[in-house]
Amino acid sequence: MSLLSTDRSYPLISTSLAPQENSSESCYAFFVPVAMAVDISDSHLMASKRVTATFTEQVNAIVTGRSAVVVKPNELQSALARPANTAYYVPGTTVPQLAAELAYGIIQNHPFMDGNKRTAFWAANEYIREYGLKPFTDAQPGEVDTTAVMRTIGSAHEKVAQSTMSAQDLANVYMDALRRRKVSINLILTNYIFN
């Protein structure tokens, strides 16, 4: 079971596995800073509890303005499994990288009749929120405008759809978008307070 803890100065994933009845397995728990590398031996721990097929279909219905039409259900499941698979096979993967894997899978697999890139954006946004990071759409005063971040990510999603951007390149765009908010505050302080 994966639980979020916000009682520290940075978001954490608390992982605790209880042994099965009549089992010799031991119970263990550890904390991982979310913004840092994720090294988890059980890939299901990085599977989203919120970003499921049903949730993604609801997002698609909202972004398209009509009932979601899943034309490739297996491809939707494949896209939703990408973060867990990546976390298992690529130790040290960050949450933004896992969110990029999710979005990349939705865009490339094209499981919906329409709205795949928009659905991918909101699914990745919620995946990031679920693991304790501030998502793309939660800008505070003095931070980079959410619209600018959405445009940048939208452009990256278009490149993914055209097969001219890899999942790793998309992850770099996501990490940059999440970093830009902090950088913009520092630029404001530097430009307006110290000059």
Tell me, yes or no, whether 45 lies in a domain: yes
Residue 16 falls inside a structural domain: no
As given in the structure block, the two tokens for residue 182 are 């902090």
How high does pLDDT run on average in the chain?
75
DSSP for residue 39: -
Q: By three-state DSSP, how is residue 96 classified?
A: helix
Answer with the residue of higher pLDDT: 58 or 180: 58
Residue 82 lies in a domain: yes
| Predicted local confidence at residue 10, as pLDDT | 33
Residue 121's pLDDT band, with cuts at 50, 70 and 90, is very high
Specify the pLDDT at position 188. 41
119 part of a folded domain: yes
Per the model's pLDDT, the better-predicted residue between 195 and 146 turns out to be 146
Nearest Cα neighbor of 125 from 188, 46, 181, 178 is 178
The answer to the question of residue 115 being in a domain is: yes
Contact of 48 with 127, CB cutoff 8 Å: yes
- Residue 61: the pLDDT is 95
User: Does residue 52 fall inside a structural domain?
Assistant: yes
Percent of residues, the chain, with pLDDT higher than 70: 64
Q: Tell me the C-alpha to C-alpha distance, in Å, between residue 33 and each of 66, 81, 173, 174.
A: 39, 22, 20, 18
Within a 10 A sphere around the Cβ of 73, how many other Cβ atoms? Answer: 11
Domain of 46 in residue numbering reads as 37-193
Query: In the prediction, which pLDDT does 16 show?
Result: 34
With beta carbons less than 8 A apart as the criterion, state whether 113 and 71 touch. yes
The pLDDT-based confidence of 66 (bands split at 50, 70, 90) is: very high
Say which residue, 84 or 14, is predicted with more confidence: 84
Q: Is residue 186 part of a domain?
A: yes
Among 74, 15, 75, which Cα is nearest to 47's? 15
Name the band, by pLDDT with cuts 50, 70 and 90, for residue 179. Answer: confident
| Residue 46 belongs to some domain of the structure | yes
Determine the Cα–Cα distance for residues 127 and 103; give it in Å rounded to an integer. 10
Q: How many CB atoms lie within 10 A of CB 91?
A: 11
Which CATH number characterizes residue 67's domain?
1.20.120.1870
Specify the number of domains making up the chain: 1
**pLDDT value of residue 102:** 97
Angle between helices 95-109 and 146-161 (to 10 degrees): 50
pLDDT value of residue 2: 34
Place of tokens 């530097």: 190
Residue 33 CB coordination number (10 Å): 16
Least confident segment among 30-44, 67-81, 102-116, 133-147: 30-44
> For the residues 149-163, what does the mean pLDDT come to?
94
- Tokens 């960050």 belong to 94
**Residue 62 confidence class, pLDDT cut points 50, 70, 90:** very high
Q: What is the CA radius of gyration of the chain?
A: 18
